[in-house]
Structure 1
Amino acid sequence: MRAPGCVALLVWLLNDAAARQFTEEEMSGIRQRIKSMFYHAYNSYLDNAFPYDELRPLTCDGQDTWGSFSLTLIDALDTLLVLGNRTEFERVASLLQDTVDFDIDVNASVFETNIR
């Protein structure tokens, strides 16, 4: 019985969001907040968790979870390009080539790696 209510709420929310027109100034502010949130998480990972797979936010340290190959940094590569930061993309791609060894025997989650 909860599913129809959830679906109705989702349809209403999506319909309301689609009908909303944003000004160029509002869109610029939204873009800037998104970039700021990404770089906050990205820099926190680099400062506190690299070369581990992910950053643990409560302890602010890193842990290997899905294969021990800096998965968060690999995951961030496409976002760097979407944000137009080709310089950082190239720096990180080079860093990964120099530091990550994929010729290791580990239990890696193919699903978790591919969905990123």
Structure 2
Amino acid sequence: MKKLLFSLLIMSCLAFNGGDAKVQTYNYGHNGMEFVARSGQGMIIVSTFNSKMTIRQDIAYKIYQEYANNRLTTGPKTTICGDEADVTGKCVVTKKDNLISVNFYYELVEWKSGLKEVYQKKKTT
């Protein structure tokens, strides 16, 4: 009888688990230069804004790879697939002489665990 009740309890927990991803907001993040590389085009600097500390270097390297393969454009939202999380954001590429600046602004972080974090600008009073 105890096994039956325990089984029913476990099955009801699994049945009522929606499986929906949990969504949280954050209003902090790391801003800074993450990756510098030389190429035939000149010096490339990858900077990230509102980034999460644990994945910032991995994502910056993936951003550089996308740029080097000509798959990164200014303007529309771009999704970068990392090892721990997928990041969606806006990319701005600026060229001046031999210097290329690739700035990426985090807007949404989708962790492999299912958690989604949305960047929300801090309100000032």
Same fold (TM over 0.5): no
Instruction: Provide TM-score, normalisation by structure 2.
Output: 0.21
Which structure has more relative contact order (CA 8 Å, sep 6+)? It is 2
Mark the structure with the bigger radius of gyration.
Answer: 2
Q: Which one has a larger percent helix, Structure 1 or Structure 2?
A: 1
Instruction: Provide TM-score, normalisation by structure 1.
Output: 0.22
Q: Which one has a larger percent strand, Structure 1 or Structure 2?
A: 2
